[in-house]
Structure 1
Amino acid sequence: MPARIPTAEEPRRPHPVEILAALCAGSLLTLMLLSNGMMAAHTTPIFASLTAHGVGTAVAVLLLLLFRLRTPPQPRMAASRAPLWAYLGGISGALTVVVSTVVVNSSLALTGTMALGLAGQVVLALVFDATGALGLERRLPRRNDLLALAAIVAGTLLIIFARGGAA
């Protein structure tokens, strides 16, 4: 039986490796936020951001060298340029690190910061999908997308406001 190709109306199911990779990325994001927050608590948020990006640059250069040594050279195709807005990732990444290092040391703590960050990511992703912003294929949110968003917002509110008297 031939494999069924999903249509635009029917997105393909994620592969388990993709799910594991996304879970690992989320875990690394939490570890990054914790370590940057600790650095900011002992120095400043700007220094913590500079340190994180400096170490990240060094690791990226090492990985680039490692992968260049391990992969055979590929024939180059016609070079295409990334759109100008694609370079904004560095700005948003730096601002994310600075703002989160301030907020993680507030009454929100690590869990509240991560929960609100997740809610913000999902809201903006749904807006980008719905509008086709930044070159994405336009995809209106489905009922399940909105139910998932409601669950994330409800969970975020529980995390932040239902901590009980443990403070």
Structure 2
Amino acid sequence: MTIETARNSHPIYFIGAFATGGLLTFMVHLNGELARYGNALFSSWTAHGTGIIAAVILLLVLRGRRAPMAEKTAGAPWWAYLGGVSGAATVILTSTAVNSPLGLSGTLALGLAGQVAFSLAADSWGLFGLPKRRPDLQDIAALGLVVTGGALIILFGRGAA
């Protein structure tokens, strides 16, 4: 995708990304509440148990609508199965961090900074089958702004409340 294509993307993609950010914030808050009344492991089990139940219901509803496959597709690479492990660890760690002095905004700010940094590394090294792409000055500036914004939230956000 070229920069021009990215700039001319349909607005629904930006609305969807913004909405998922809001849902992520809501999820981290709810998981933090579960951890506060139980513990972080209980929070992770509850979140993933709910996801399994929703997935089973969705599969049962969609079972009859599936079109037959003409040919067998290749299996997923081994590292694709690690998503569950990282998801469980993410819920446990964010549930713990939300209930620390960082609070919800600090936890999300550091999480966003980590996501941007790791995605730049994945692009740079060509991880997960991605084409190698060297981060440019705009990428580094974006990471710097995210880290700076997170630091402002963590260091100076408490006095405003």
Q: TM-score, normalised by structure 2?
A: 0.90
Q: Does 1:30 align with 2:25?
A: yes
Mapped pair 1:12 → 2:30 = no
Superposed displacement of residue 59, structure 1: 1.2
Q: How many percent identity over aligned positions?
A: 44
Instruction: Report the Cα distance in structure 1 between the residues aligned to 2:63 and 2:72, rounded to whole angstroms.
Output: 20
1:156 corresponds to: 150
- Between the aligned partners of 1:141 and 1:57, the Cα distance in structure 2 is 37
Shift of 1:67: 3.5
**Tell me, what secondary structure is at the counterpart of 2:5?**
coil
CA distance in 2, matches of 1:21, 1:144: 23
Alpha-carbon deviations, 1:45-71, whole Å to 9, x = none? 1011101100011112222333344x4
1:166 to partner: Cα distance:
4.9
Number of matched pairs: 159
Code of the aligned partner of 1:85: W
Corresponding residue for residue 80 of structure 1: 74
Q: Which has the higher helix share?
A: 2
**Displacement of 1:43:** 0.5
Partner of 1:3: none
Amino acid at match of 2:115: Q
1:2-151 matches, cutoff 5 A:
10=3, 12-13=5-6, 14-69=9-64, 71=65, 73-151=67-145
RMSD (Å), alpha carbons: 1.8
Ranges in structure 1 where 5+ consecutive residues have no aligned partner: 1-5
TM-score norm. by structure 1 comes to 0.87
